[in-house]
Amino acid sequence: MTTQTATTRLAPSPTGGLHLGNARSFLLNWAIARRSGWRILMRLDDLDADRSSAEAERGLLESLDWLGIDFDGPVLRQSEAGEQYHDALQVLAEKGLVFRCARSRKELREAADALGAPHETGATIRTTASMRPTDPEAWTLGGGDLNHRLALEPGAEQVDDRLLGPLSIDPSDAFGDPILWTRRNVAAYHLASVVDDLAHGVTDVIRGEDLLPSAGLHQRMASLLDGSPPRWWHLPLVLDASGRRLAKREGDRTLASFKARGVPPERIIGLLARSSGLQPTLLPMTLSELLDVLDVELLGARAREESARGGHRITEEDIAWLEERTT
């Protein structure tokens, strides 16, 4: 009997520079994995062809290398795995769980409103069982300008988060019937992420708390695909001094910009270690020193505190310390 090697993955989207929130997630992911002897994969979530670019990919890999974050094996790209995603879609369709949705996002939102169903204000619109099609033909795979959705039944998933503790998440409440395959004829994020984790033997997913709702959905989808979900580790978000969540699209301070201004990577590591409760004061830190002080129990206690507060704020004083002249 063989034992599966514990495996995690770094999964950035090549759509812009990495900010301090991205850096904290990747740094702690790397540190937990290296301290535990896990395999680390690098997977680029590049299915959004309109926003992804070779320049952004090169930039994020250079930024991670500058911090000293390495990985095992070649770079994996979701844009190169379309066939395995479609195979998984076929498996779900054969179980009678996939239907084609002809409504536009606007029409779907209006219909959900009329039914009193909750919905999100972003690109994903929730649906209800009463809105599913009755025509059997709609429950087969097809082309055209249609999304393919997963018929997701209500029911809580028990998510045992290694940092935040046990949680109960109903993916149907969070997502309704999520899109699996888009009208652009590519896999949607949820399908691609689950299929990749199963295909690559990912046992542990360490990422930001903004993705916590999808843990319940991905856990359910892994089961529907006859696979085992990974263990979940969710880190609270990093906020700016005003309490706003850091975001690529808003041009927040990036690792590349700090590097260009001569900030040593040890200061980035030290700031992020302090923000995670792994050192009491702002001091430069090497990756080796980070591994020496890494304490998962302490990290979990700090994560639960930060989560209750909505995240961790990086202050202007923190940024000033990063950019202090050193000799």
For residue range 63-73, list pLDDT tens digits in order: 999 999 999 99
Residue pair 71/65 in contact (Cβ under 8 Å)? The answer is no
Q: Answer whether residue 1 shows pLDDT above 70.
A: no
Superfamily of domain 7-78+236-322: HUPs (3.40.50.620)
Residue 125 vs residue 143, higher pLDDT: 143
What is the average per-residue pLDDT within 154-179? 94
pLDDT score at 206? 98
Cα separation, 269 vs 249, whole angstroms: 23
Q: Answer whether residue 124 shows pLDDT above 90.
A: no
Please give the DSSP secondary-structure letter assigned to residue 235: E
Q: Answer whether residue 114 shows pLDDT above 80.
A: no
- Taken in order 99, 101, 105, 107, the sign of the CA dihedral is negative
pLDDT score at 248? 66
What is the average per-residue pLDDT within 196-209? 97
Write out the H or E segment, with its range, that includes residue 209: none
What is the average per-residue pLDDT within 80-96? 96
What is the average per-residue pLDDT within 38-57? 94
pLDDT score at 121? 39
pLDDT tens per residue, range 97-113: 999 987 655 666 665 55
Domains 7-78+236-322 and 82-192 share a fold: no
Give alpha helix (H) positions in the chain.
20-36, 54-67, 82-94, 105-114, 171-175, 189-199, 212-224, 255-260, 265-275, 287-293, 296-309, 316-322
Residue 119 vs residue 46, higher pLDDT: 46
pLDDT score at 72? 98
Cα separation, 259 vs 265, whole angstroms: 8
Cα separation, 284 vs 191, whole angstroms: 40
pLDDT score at 123? 42
CA atoms within 13 A on the CB side of 64: 24
Residue 215 vs residue 124, higher pLDDT: 215
Domain range summary for the chain, segments of one domain joined by +: 7-78+236-322, 82-192
Q: Answer whether residue 162 shows pLDDT above 90.
A: yes
Write out the H or E segment, with its range, that includes residue 41: strand 39-44
The three-state secondary structure class of 189 is: helix
Cα separation, 131 vs 127, whole angstroms: 7
Distance of CA 137 to the CA centre of its chain: 34
pLDDT score at 308? 96
CATH 3.40.50.720 at 82-192, yes or no: no
Q: Answer whether residue 325 shows pLDDT above 90.
A: no
Residue 143 vs residue 90, higher pLDDT: 90
Residue 100 vs residue 243, higher pLDDT: 100
What is the average per-residue pLDDT within 161-167? 97
What is the average per-residue pLDDT within 48-70? 95
pLDDT score at 119? 37
What band does 120 get if pLDDT is binned at 50, 70 and 90? Answer: very low
Residue 116 vs residue 184, higher pLDDT: 184
Q: Answer whether residue 312 shows pLDDT above 50.
A: yes
pLDDT score at 291? 98
The three-state secondary structure class of 20 is: helix
Global confidence as pTM: 0.90
Give residue 150's identity as a one-letter amino acid code. L
- Percentage of the chain beyond pLDDT 90 is 77
Burial (CB count <10 Å: 0-12, 13-18, 19+), residue 164: buried
Cα separation, 52 vs 35, whole angstroms: 32
